Amino acid sequence: MKVLNLVFVGVLMATSLTASAQGPELEIDLTATEVISQGRTGTCWSFSTTSFLESEAFRITGELHDFSEMASVRVIYPEKVERYVRYHGKHQMGPGGLSHDVTHAAAKFGIVPQSVYGGGQASGAYDHGALDGMMETMAQALVEQSGGVAPAGMEAVEATLDAYLGALPEAFEYNGAQYTPASFRDAVGIDPAAYATLTSFTHHPFGASFVLEVPDNHAHGAFYNVELDDLEEAVHHALENGYTVAWDADVSNKGFSFRDGWAIMPEAAASKEEWETLDAMPLEPNVDQAMRQSAFDSQENTDDHLMHIVGRAADAQGREYFIIKNSWGQGNDYGGKQYVSMAYFRHHTIGIMLHEDGLTKELRKAMGR
């Protein structure tokens, strides 16, 4: 199970990060559920953002719950098919998504505990290869056969999803109380409208929102555009005030090593032992706005993977790292967590999501929130 005994959450997280491997010294360690695996699925967007909402619920109510990742997947998949058909098959169709898909699912449907909706397979052993293939085949067939969104075709999509993932519950009992998905969402303090998405690119003006041009933004979600220093500062400010952050980044580079537990620039340290001395990590470049934009424009930086920023650490030289929860299981020295250098964050971040109350006063005012 992901849910931990609340009394020991902070202790267990700190132990997992410092006892099994040396690593940088913890500065901030916010409460989160245990790292789990997304299995053989392309649903990191749901795992990361669901983890983020679990931490949000704890921050708001003091109670840590294990929310269902697959409930959001079940809500979003029919929308992907319908959108693909409406665009005559000329639209992204696949298992990927972004954090705003999870808050949209929470607004449209609600939230349910993992114990109520498991998604048809054992947690940590999900395999959506057949399901994803079936969804793509059905979507293409709808385009070819009808040229439109035929009710019978969409009913078949819903039935197929029910067969693979299970039908979503209309009501359920949890911890001795009766809920609907919407009432449970409200009971755990989640307001989907309270979450802001930020990014930093120069091909759109700063101080305004734009639809981020990455393939998995199938819902055409808008991100508020800020300068790079402000994007990094937004995460520091959030963490320092008790708010975790959902993080979308490029991970298809040698500097991102789940096995070693780091994400750094340049591409890799000479050896893992270098980092364990806390003072021998290689020097990293100063990443500026132009460097970041060039990597995005050349498609060196792509929308690869979403994760959950839960803390911050610093090494012996004073270099800081964000601590992330990945969704690839616990198979490294840090229990599935990783240390992300500031250079890596600045260069490889695609976008972030955080609660509006975690924004700086200046940024929140600028966004009109």
Residue 295 domain flag: yes
- pTM for this structure? 0.91
**Exposure pattern of 237-272 as b/e (b: 16+ CB <10 Å)?**
bbbeeebbbbbbbbbebebbbbebbbbbbeebbeee
Cα separation, 294 vs 312, whole angstroms: 27
Residue 1 domain flag: no
Residue 221 domain flag: yes
Question: What confidence tens digit (pLDDT) does each residue in 69-100 have?
Answer: 999 999 999 999 999 999 999 999 999 999 99
Count of domains for the chain: 1
Residue 199 domain flag: yes
Residue 225 domain flag: yes
Question: What confidence tens digit (pLDDT) does each residue in 105-121 have?
Answer: 999 999 999 999 999 99
For the chain, what is the mean pLDDT?
90
Angle (nearest 5°) at CA 68 between 64 and 71 = 145
Question: What confidence tens digit (pLDDT) does each residue in 297-310 have?
Answer: 999 999 999 999 99
pLDDT of 320 higher than 80: yes
**Domain with 217 in it: what CATH number?**
3.90.70.10
Residue 148 domain flag: yes
Residue 17 domain flag: yes
Angle (nearest 5°) at CA 209 between 205 and 210 = 85
Residue 53 domain flag: yes
Structural domain span for residue 280: 6-367
In the block, residue with structure tokens 């979403």:
306
